[in-house]
Amino acid sequence: MKTTTLKTLLAICAMSLTLASCTKETGPNASELLISATPSDIIEVKSDGATTFALAGVTPAFDSTADLTADEIEFIFAVREDEKVARDLYFSFFGKFGLKPFENIGKAEDNHIKAAEKLFDYYEIDYPALSENGKFEDAIRQKLYDSLLLKGTPELEAFKVMALLEETNIAEYGEVLKTIVNPNIKIVIENLAKASVNHFKAAIRQITALGGTYAPSLMTQEQYRAVIAVGFEQGKRYMYKNNGSSTNSGNKLGGKGQRKGSVNSQGNCSSSSNGTTPGSQNRQGNVGKGYRGGK
């Protein structure tokens, strides 16, 4: 009797181990459950205000949505190019003056470019590589870059150029956030807006240290005082939503998934799988739909 009971217990234990092994192989492990259940920070703020995206955490926070419209594709491209204007200027100022704030915030702007490109990668959009530093396919941005580069001497004026660019970002991103529908684009833009606030404050800090003053051109004095009265802004936390998918369609990056659109170096969407964009029967865009004057 004891022998029979022992054999039965051993059989039950063996079955339990087998089931546990199968569960471990097919079900989510503890780290996966933790990732999906724990909110994650997307931006990191340094003591000098330089604000970067934790790029590894951006795509996991994206949700599954409809494919991008042509207008959304062009908007993301416009955002990327505007971040490039800031990056190239700050790196140029660092090369001229050797001041670390220009280098640190320039590196942050380079990170912002990559964050915008995360959206293109997630939605499987073909996009051109960045042009060389200080060069832009768009004549409007090229003129802006050239004029601000000339204006940025001596270093006090360079920090005023930084403040102007970041103030412009605060105003522009604040406006577009009122109408953004796509939740993943909204994640990127609302964090870019927070980064612009931090970089603006960092520029004001440097202007003050150099004995200068800054007159806001897009904010009222009341708004300006409210912005600089508080410390650097931290980003909100986001739940991981897409269970590790690299793209909106579930394809892994670099796989054989069908491309869902493309944009050229002029910022024009040449194709989009989502044909519902307003006023665009041929599934092509209209250069950003008015974002910063059309580009």
Q: Looking at 46-50, 108-112, 239-243, which range is the least confident one? A: 239-243
Spans of all domains in the chain? 59-290
Predicted confidence (pLDDT) at residue 3 exceeds the cutoff of 60: no
Q: What is the pLDDT of residues 61-118, one digit of tens each?
A: 999 999 998 889 989 999 999 999 999 999 999 999 999 999 999 999 999 999 999 9
User: So what's the pLDDT on residue 208?
Assistant: 97
DSSP codes of every residue in 101-149:
HHHHHHHHHHHHHHHHHHHHHHTTEE-PPPPPTT--SSHHHHHHHHHHH
User: So what's the pLDDT on residue 276?
Assistant: 52
| Range 165-175 burial, b when 16+ CB lie within 10 A, else e | bbbbbbbbbee
User: So what's the pLDDT on residue 119?
Assistant: 97
Q: What is the C-alpha to C-alpha distance for residues 286 and 294, in angstroms, rounded to an integer?
A: 8
Higher pLDDT, 284 or 165: 165
Q: What is the C-alpha to C-alpha distance for residues 181 and 72, in angstroms, rounded to an integer?
A: 10
User: So what's the pLDDT on residue 287?
Assistant: 39
Closest residue by Cα to residue 192 from 172, 178, 221:
172
Read off the pLDDT band of 37 (50, 70, 90): low
Sign of CA dihedral 265, 270, 273, 275: positive
Read off the pLDDT band of 251 (50, 70, 90): low
User: So what's the pLDDT on residue 203?
Assistant: 98
User: So what's the pLDDT on residue 255?
Assistant: 53
Q: Looking at 32-46, 147-161, 171-185, 261-275, which range is the least confident one? A: 32-46
**Average pLDDT score over residue span 134-142:** 93
Predicted confidence (pLDDT) at residue 30 exceeds the cutoff of 90: no
**Average pLDDT score over residue span 182-208:** 96
Q: What is the C-alpha to C-alpha distance for residues 84 and 136, in angstroms, rounded to an integer?
A: 9
Model-level pTM greater than 0.85? Answer: no
Peptide bond into 216 cis (omega under 30): no
Second-level CATH architecture of 59-290: Up-down Bundle (1.20)
**Average pLDDT score over residue span 8-35:** 39
Please report, in angstroms and rounded to a whole number, the separation of the first and last CA atoms in the chain.
Answer: 85
User: So what's the pLDDT on residue 123?
Assistant: 95
**Average pLDDT score over residue span 4-13:** 42
- Residue-averaged pLDDT of the chain: 82
Read off the pLDDT band of 252 (50, 70, 90): low
User: So what's the pLDDT on residue 142?
Assistant: 95
**Average pLDDT score over residue span 6-35:** 39
Predicted confidence (pLDDT) at residue 232 exceeds the cutoff of 70: yes
